[in-house]
Structure 1
Amino acid sequence: MKWTEVQIQTSNEALDAVSNILIEAGSQGVAIEDIHDFLNSPDDGFGEIWALDETDFSQEGVIIKGYFPNTLFLPELLPSIKHRINELEAFGLTIAPNIVKVDEVVEENWATAWKKYYHPLQVTRFLTVVPSWEEYELKHADERVIRLDPGLAFGTGTHPTTMLSLQALETYIRGNETILDVGTGSGVLSIASKALGAKHVHAYDLDDVAVKSAMDNIKLNDYAKDVTVEANDLLKGVTIKADIVVANILSEIIVPLIPEAYDVLKPGGLFLTSGIIEDKKELIISEQKKQGFIIIQVQQMKDWCSIVAQKPLVEDK
Structure 2
Amino acid sequence: MNWLEISIHTSNEAVEAIANILHESGASGVVIEDPAELTKERENRFGEIVELNPADFPEEGVIIKAYLPVNSFIGETVASLKQEITDLVNFGIDIGKNNVTTTEVKEEDWATAWKQYYHPVKISDRFTIVPTWENYKRITSEELIIELDPGMAFGTGTHPTTVMCIQALERTVREDDTVVDVGTGSGVLSIASALVGAHKVIALDLDEVAVESAKENVQINQVNHIVDVRQGDLLHGIKGKADVVVANILADVIVGFTDDAATVVKQGGYFITSGIIQQKKFEVKDALESAGFEIVETLVMEDWIAFIARRL
TM-score, normalised relative to structure 2: 0.71
Alpha-carbon distance in 1 for matches of 2:33, 2:249: 18
How far apart in 2 are the matches of 1:134 and 1:261?
37
Q: Which amino acid aligns with 1:245?
A: V
Q: Give the equivalent residue in structure 1 for 2:216.
A: 216
Q: 1:277 is matched by which residue type in structure 2? A: I
| Partner-residue secondary structure (3-state), 2:223 | helix
Q: Which amino acid aligns with 2:193?
A: S
How many angstroms apart in 2 are the aligned matches of 1:66 and 1:269? 48
3-state secondary structure, aligned to 1:158: coil
- How much is the aligned-residue C-alpha RMSD, in angstroms? 3.3
CA contact (8 A) 1:174 1:197 kept: yes
Once the two structures are superposed, residues 223-268 of structure 1 have per-residue CA deviations (whole angstroms, 9 ceiling, x without a partner) of 3443111111100111131000000001011111211111111111
Partners of 1:268 and 1:304 in 2: CA distance: 26
Pair 1:162–1:116, CA change in 2 (3 A): same
Cα separation, 1, equivalents of 2:3 and 2:202: 37
- CA distance in structure 2 between the partners assigned to 1:68 and 1:157 by the alignment: 30
Give 3-state SS (helix, strand or coil) of 1:266's partner.
strand
Q: Is the 8 A contact 1:128 1:145 kept in 2?
A: yes
Offset of residue 66 of structure 1: 10
**SS where residue 179 of structure 2 aligns?**
strand
Select the residue among 38, 46, 50 that pairs with 1:48: 50
Percent identity reads 44
Q: Is the 8 A contact 2:33 2:62 kept in 1?
A: no
2:83 corresponds to which residue?
none
What is the letter of the counterpart of residue 186 of structure 1? S
Task: Report Cα offsets for 1:184-213 as digits up to 9, x if no partner.
Answer: 011000000011111100000111111111
Matches within 5 A, 1:87-102: none
CA contact (8 A) 1:147 1:217 kept: yes
Residue aligning to 2:132: 132
Q: Paired residue for 1:11?
A: none
Gaps of 5+ in 1: 6-29, 71-103, 313-317
Tell me the residue number matched to 2:262: 262
Residues 91-147 of structure 1: CA deviation (Å, up to 9, x unaligned): xxxxxxxxxxxxx96425111111111111111111110000111111001001000
Residues of 2 paired with 1:222 and 1:37: CA distance?
37
Look up the match of 1:162.
162
Q: Which residue of 2 aligns with 1:308?
A: 308
Read off the aligned partner of 1:223 and give its amino acid letter.
V
- Partner Cα distance (1:285, 1:57) in 2: 41
Residue type of the alignment partner of 2:201: V
Cα separation, 1, equivalents of 2:111 and 2:311: 44
> How far, CA to CA, are the matches of 1:261 and 1:34 in structure 2?
42
Given residue 216 of structure 1, which amino acid in structure 2 is its aligned partner? E
Q: In structure 1, the residue corresponding to 2:298 is in which secondary structure?
A: strand
Give the corresponding residue for 1:271. 271
1:234 alignment partner, SS class: coil
> Structure 1, residues 42-86: CA drift from partner, whole Å, max 9, x if none?
778xx935544397799xxxx9x999999xxxxxxxxxxxxxxxx
Matched residues in 2 for 1:183 and 1:37: separation? 32
Amino acid at match of 2:234: L
> Does the 8 A contact of 2:43 with 2:302 survive in 1?
no
CA contact (8 A) 1:251 1:275 kept: yes
Output the CA distance in 1 between the equivalents of 2:251 and 2:297.
17
Report the secondary structure of 1:185's partner residue. Answer: coil
Q: Is the 8 A contact 1:37 1:159 kept in 2?
A: no
SS of match in other structure, 1:223: coil
TM-score, normalised via structure 1 length: 0.70
Residue of structure 2 equivalent to 1:80? none
CA distance in structure 1 between the aligned counterparts of 2:249 and 2:37, rounded to whole angstroms: 19
- Per the alignment, do residues 214 and 286 of structure 1 end up closer, same or farther by CA in structure 2, a change over 3 Å counting? same
Distance 2:284 2:111 in 1: 37
Secondary structure of 2:235's match? Answer: coil
Which amino acid in the other structure matches residue 107 of structure 2?
Answer: E
Q: Does the 8 A contact of 2:3 with 2:67 survive in 1? A: no
Tell me if the contact between 1:195 and 1:224 (Cα under 8 Å) persists in the aligned partners. Answer: no
Shift of 1:171: 1.3
Given that residues 49 and 121 in structure 1 are in contact (C-alpha distance below 8 angstroms), is that contact kept between their aligned partners in structure 2? Answer: no
Gaps of 5+ in 2: 6-28, 72-103
SS in 2 for 1:109: helix
Q: Distance in 2 between matches of 1:259 and 1:110?
A: 44
Looking at structure 2, the residues matched to 208 and 42 of structure 1 have their Cα atoms a distance apart, in angstroms, of: 34
Output the CA distance in 2 between the equivalents of 1:260 and 1:37. 42
Residues 33 and 57 in structure 2, CA contact (< 8 A), matched pair in contact too: no
Amino acid in the other structure paired with 1:48: V
Alignment-mate amino acid for residue 187 of structure 2: G
